[in-house]
Structure 1
Amino acid sequence: MFQYNIVGYARVSSREQAENFHALEQQIDRLESAGAEYVFVDVESGANPERHDYNKLIQLVENGAIEMVIATRWDRLTRNELVYLQLKNLFQYSAVKLKLLDQGEVDLNSAFGELSADLQALFAVHERRMLKERVCRGFEYKRKKKSAWGRQPWGYKSENEKYVIDRSRIICLLSQRPCNYQELSDLPNNSSLLVQGISKGEIAREAVEFFLQVRKGRDVLRYLYEKYGVSSKANNNDLLLTSQLLFWRSGQSFCEWIKNPVLRGHTAYNKYEPRNAQKRGNQKPPEEWEIHENTHPDERMLSDEEYCEVITIIEQNSRTMGTMDTRSQLTGLIICGECGGKCVNKNNQKYRYYGCRNSGIGCSNKKQIRLDFLEAKLFDVIIEKAHQFNGVDSTFKIKENPEDSLIIIKLKEQKQNLEKILQDHYNPTIKKAIDDLDLQIKKQISHSEVDDFSLSSAEEVLAYPYLTHLGFWYCLNTQERELIYHKLIKQIVVVDGEVTTIELKVNC
């Protein structure tokens, strides 16, 4: 339970953090000096209301669990006019005080204090609008000059607003180390006696050439990870965003990189849909990009002929990745406990398995888990949780009793007639027919009722009584299991072929 009376809130945008690395640290220090016992922190746009620590802070204010909130300015709390109005109403009707270090203590209970707060917030919103205009004008200017735009693809950097191959040396292999390396330890790094090392550009070109040979993105990653000693860990940042010697996180991300127009000497603009306050717009299809050709022809890493071969390889691989017959209902829900990556479905002639997509290319979690073993464990967990909900009042109601349907009534009549015959004279064939009818009845009940789950919450699904019966689960087909799984399961963590955690979407 939260036990602090005075809390602070600090926020910087990603752009502010990049321009001034100590900006966030300075805010936190000021807030703590002003009496904040705990500081909530976000690195996110002030126009986005869906900030992790911001929402935690708002919940504490709503619950009256704190006495005062301290921030440096209004724009640290929000740059969104609608969110400001909600925030103002929240502080007006709660007993929590608000103090802004650069603008004084906020008095929202008087007309003048409210006007002052409105003007301060209005200036924050106005500043954001001006910033957006400057960014748009800057974008149009860069596009007119055909300048490098956005984050450079791996292996490139921007010089004089043009893309150039990154030729700065970043690593030396042990195999290149001279025999007398200990005698050279005191020499400066730029000494001609030292091995100069390998650049990102050289490694990127090496990746292109190896891909054209092996024709698989995962094989390229495996080769690079082993050669340069890179590993994939769950606490790493995006491997493409770091300046260290880290490569692509998956074969798919490598394929997206190798298709980038920059590698062919072109510059692409308008790659994304318009951004809203919550998130960046989705990426448009490549045919809708605005591409300016030959903006840096002397810095090409991929020829036109090689690019055509790359596209052919990727299309061939995508056609053989899988079919509807190999679809598995748990895809997207299973997480590798070693690297944090998603586990993918891997089949052989007899069984289906799930394994880490990064196994063998930086992740040591190589052992797979059989789907039937995983589901057996999952059934136990869901059945145990469903027992807790059994008998609890729920708004989930079956629209009509499926056992009253004409099909099920007829099946039950057939079963009863056969049971009477079996009482007089035992016959294995009749016994098997009764079992088959019983299974058909269960399937009819299961299929008719599972359809009602599509609009139900996880709690409502768990309150359904048949979930506590193991036989119910084995009567469901793949699509019905998938519906229930994605309603109930938040994630499943697997390590070394064993399930370590099953997290459901319920609160109790």
Structure 2
Amino acid sequence: MDNRIDAIYGRQSIDKKDSISIESQFEFCRYELKGGEAKEYKDKGYSGKNIERPDFQRLLRDIRAGLIRRVIVYKLDRISRSIVDFAKLMELFKQYNVEFVSCTEKFDTSTPMGRAMLNICIVFAQLERESIQMRVQDAFYSRCAKGYYMRGRAPYGFDTEPIVMDGIKTKRLVENAEMDYAELMYEMYAEPENSYGDITRYFTENEIMVYGKTLKRGFVGQLLRNPVYVQADMDIYEYFKAQGAKIESPPELFTGEFSCYLYQGREGEENILVIAPHKGRIPSSLWLAVQHKLSQNTTFQNGRKCHNTWLAGKIKCGCCGYALASLNAPNGVTYMRCKQRLENKSCQGPGTLTKHDLEKSVYEEMVKKMREFQTLKGSNKAEGYNPKLTAARAKLAKIEGEIEKLIDTLTGANPLLLQYANSRIEELDAERQKQLKLVADLTANSVSSSQVDSITGYLSHWEDVSFDDKRRVLDTLVSKVEATRTELAIEWKI
């Protein structure tokens, strides 16, 4: 005689008008008992995406203990919406000789046809669940594109306040007193000699707490990369466009008055950039300078290890591109040697270069460059003007225009013309990608005339300037210096 009992299981994820309550589910299930008794199991407030539910796990334990003869549910998706989980459950039911009954679908799992129909319904149940997920995702990204606040906790330095945008209730970020510390992190990191460690030490020494805890390096890195702090202008627009982000807001909104949100795109899709309804604190020039330093972080950290010359981190071998290291000779002269030649002699080396001669030459070149810049500024062209960036943007626009013209010719074109146009478009697109990267690099590396003005006075009394200030002047003006015995090539930021 089978002493096992029947079990009724009910699940309801949330209370809403079109959902059936657990009590109603049980009423339907009791019709299958025909007056018999059953043990009841119910989980309220749990999704069917997995089987990690308290009472359902209790049901499984009772099945494994040999106490359950039959499991009755209102509908099969009350058990699970996962094909994998359901297949495993059917195997478990079969192992312990447990029947499965769905009141609304009328399955008989003892027959092959019943099992086949059950599997088909499971497929459609998962399809329904995935369709719901897709609709939720579409709604999320639709709201992202409109600039609604879609995050949880406000970023450091902000609180949230409720607002209504296009008739929809959402939130807006507003600065709090901690924003001064967020801005301080940007200003400190923009200094050539500062690292994450310098910032965290400063905060610790001055007893500045972040969310009630001591500042960590990882937190600094995340904050510095977040565009939610920046004043979003056209330089920010061009920077993220070059990074491949999908920019939902039109260019005319990038005036610098407001900041922006960067949302991670769905798998296989680009990130989404949109103008936010709050004001940014960090000027775009400072934010982009920090991004450039972050991208060159290894170079900066290596440069900090050597304090023998203010050229450290910038000076490279003109033959192989490796850094030049300073070596002190017994005669008291400091020489600059190619690191690759020192390590494996695979580079012929730039020849005999002394620290004194290199520093003198670079200083003289900086003085000349500053004179050129001041002359250009006198003609009212220097403010916000970067010749390389302007040329790169002009070339990019020309390439994109040519691509558009070729695409227009494809309509109704003969096969030979189609083949040529497609081939040419591929070539232009490859060039376009290179140009986009160049624009991104130049945008992140650009320097305003106000930044240059801040270091102008140092060059007139260079011998009295501190080591750290010399490093700051060099970083403001120069991206890279390549040296050989006969040549000095400087990549300028202005």
Q: Same fold (TM over 0.5)?
A: no
Q: Which has the larger radius of gyration?
A: 2
TM-score by length of 2: 0.35
TM-score by length of 1: 0.34
